[in-house]
Amino acid sequence: MSTPPPPLDELRKRIDHVDQQLVHWINERAKIVVDVGKHKIETGLPTYSPHREAAVLSRVQKLNDGPTLPRTIEAIYREIMSGSFALEQPIRIGYLGPPGTYSHLAAARHFGSSVEFDDLHAITGVFEEVARGHVDYGLVPIENSTGGSITETLDAFLQYHSDLRLYGELQLAVHCCLLTECQPHEVKTIYGRPESFAQCRAWLATQYPEAELVAVESSAGGALRAREEHEADRQAGTAAIGSPLAGEIYGLHPLFEQIEDRRSNVTRFLIVSKQETEPSGNDKTSLMFTTLDKPGALADVLGVFKRAGINLTHIDKCPTRGANWEYTFFVDALGHRKDPEFAELIGEVRAFSKQLTVLGSYPKSKQVL
C-alpha cells in the first residue's frame, strides 16, 4: 500500500522554501554575470556568444535527472541567459515584423524577454539594420518544412554577404491558431498569409468551407485587421490565422489551436551578426558559390564534400544578380570553418568555383522551440 503524500499546506511550505533558495542562487549567478559583462566590455567580446550558449544548455541538460522535462530546463535557462544579457550589456534583436509574427515569436523564445526587439518590417530591413549596427543581431527565416526555402533571405545574402556573418540558427514549431472574438458559427472572413492557408488547407475546407479567405502580407497584420473590423462591427465575423503571440498582442483569443494539416511544421531561422562564432563541437557552416561554366561543375564541388566525408544538410539555389541563367548555390555543411579539415575543404571547393563566400559557422540547433 503506497504512502499518502504529506498535507497540501506542508507541500506548499516546501515549495516556498525551494523558491527562496532559487531566487537567492539566481541572484548569486547574476552577480557573477555582472563581472563577466565588465570583462567582455574591456576585451571587446560580444555579449551574446552562441557557442557559449550551446555549452551552457548542453551542460544543464546533462545535470537534469528529472522529472523536469528537457525542454522546460532549456526554456528556463534561455530566460536566465536573457536576463544575463540585460545585466552585461543590453542587446537589440531585429526581426521580420510586425509584432506577433512567427519571426517575433521565434526571437522571443530564443532570446527571452529581457532583450529589446525591433520590428524591421522586411527581411532586407533586418540585414540592413544589422549591417549598419543599429541592431546587434537579426533573425530571418530561411526555410520551412512545408513551404521550402525563403527566397527573400537567399536574395539578401547576395547583397549583404560581405557585411554580415551567420551567427546561429534555431527551429520553431509553427502552430497555427484561428484567432477571433467571434463564436465558431459566426466566422465569415478569415485573414492569413497564403502560406498559412496552404498549411491549413484541409482543416479550412472541412471546418469553414464557406468562409472568405483573404490573403494578407503578414499573420500579425491579419490579426490586427480582424481585431479592428470586429471593434467596428461586432457582427463582422472576422478571424485570422496566426501565432498565439499575435493573439496576445492584438487582443484575440485562439478559437481553435494547432489547425495546421501537418503537425510537424517547422520553420528554421538564422541569426545574422557582424561577429563570428567560435567552434562549439557541433557546428554547421553555410557557404554560397557560383560554379565554373563547364560540364559537371556542380558535381565537382559536391564531390569535394563527398570525398571529405562531410554531410550537406541543405542545398538550394537562386539566380545570380546581374547575370541571366547563372545561379548561386547555397549549402549547409556539418563542421566549423576553423576546423583544420574543414578549412582545407574550403580551399578545394574554391578551386572549383567562380566565386565562393563562407557565410558563417554556428552551433547546430538541437531542439525545436
- Who has greater pLDDT, 132 or 148? 132
CB 170 within 8 A of CB 106: yes
- pLDDT score at 1: 61
Q: Tell me what the mean pLDDT of segment 73-98 comes to.
A: 89
Q: Which of 166-170, 219-223, 231-235, 322-326 has the lowest average pLDDT?
A: 322-326
- pLDDT score at 147: 79
Q: Tell me what the mean pLDDT of segment 80-98 comes to.
A: 88
Q: Tell me what the mean pLDDT of segment 353-362 comes to.
A: 94
Res 284 pLDDT > 90: yes
Res 120 pLDDT > 70: yes
CB 262 within 8 A of CB 324: no
Residue 69: inside a domain, yes or no? no
The cell for 335 is: 563542421
Residue 187: inside a domain, yes or no? yes
Res 346 pLDDT > 70: yes
Q: Residue 260: what are its φ and ψ, rounded to 5°?
A: -65, 145
Residue 58: inside a domain, yes or no? no
Res 141 pLDDT > 90: yes
**% pLDDT > 90, the chain:** 67
Res 81 pLDDT > 70: yes
Domain of residue 229, CATH code: 3.40.190.10
Supply angle C-alpha 148, 152, 153, rounded to 5.
80
pLDDT band per the 50, 70, 90 thresholds, residue 297: confident
Residue 193: inside a domain, yes or no? yes
**Which residue, 80, 87, 105, 95, is CA-closest to 35?**
87
| Domain ranges, residue 234 | 177-256
- Who has greater pLDDT, 112 or 321? 112
How far, in Å, are 78, 185, 227, 258, 264 from residue 146 at the CA level?
27, 29, 28, 15, 9
Looking only at Cα atoms, what is the longest distance across the chain? 79
CB 259 within 8 A of CB 33: no
Residue 235: inside a domain, yes or no? yes
Res 305 pLDDT > 70: yes
Residue 224: inside a domain, yes or no? yes
Q: Which of 13-22, 52-61, 83-92, 171-180 has the lowest average pLDDT?
A: 83-92
Res 324 pLDDT > 80: no
CB 179 within 8 A of CB 254: yes
pLDDT band per the 50, 70, 90 thresholds, residue 295: confident
Taking the C-alpha atoms of residue 207 and residue 217, their distance in angstroms, rounded to an integer, is 24
Mean pLDDT for the chain overall: 91
Domain count, the chain: 1
Residue 367: inside a domain, yes or no? no
CB 190 within 8 A of CB 208: yes
Taking the C-alpha atoms of residue 207 and residue 220, their distance in angstroms, rounded to an integer, is 22
Q: Tell me what the mean pLDDT of segment 103-125 comes to.
A: 93
- pLDDT score at 111: 93
How far, in Å, are 18, 282, 299 from residue 318 at the CA level?
55, 28, 17
Q: What is the DSSP string of 195-243?
A: HHHHHTHHHHHHH-TTSEEEE-S-HHHHHHHHHHHHHH-TTS-EEEEE-
- pLDDT score at 89: 81
Q: Is 216 exposed, middle or buried (0-12, 13-18, 19+ CB in 10 A)?
A: buried
- pLDDT score at 115: 92
Res 323 pLDDT > 80: no
Res 2 pLDDT > 80: no
Q: Tell me what the mean pLDDT of segment 312-323 comes to.
A: 87
Res 78 pLDDT > 70: yes
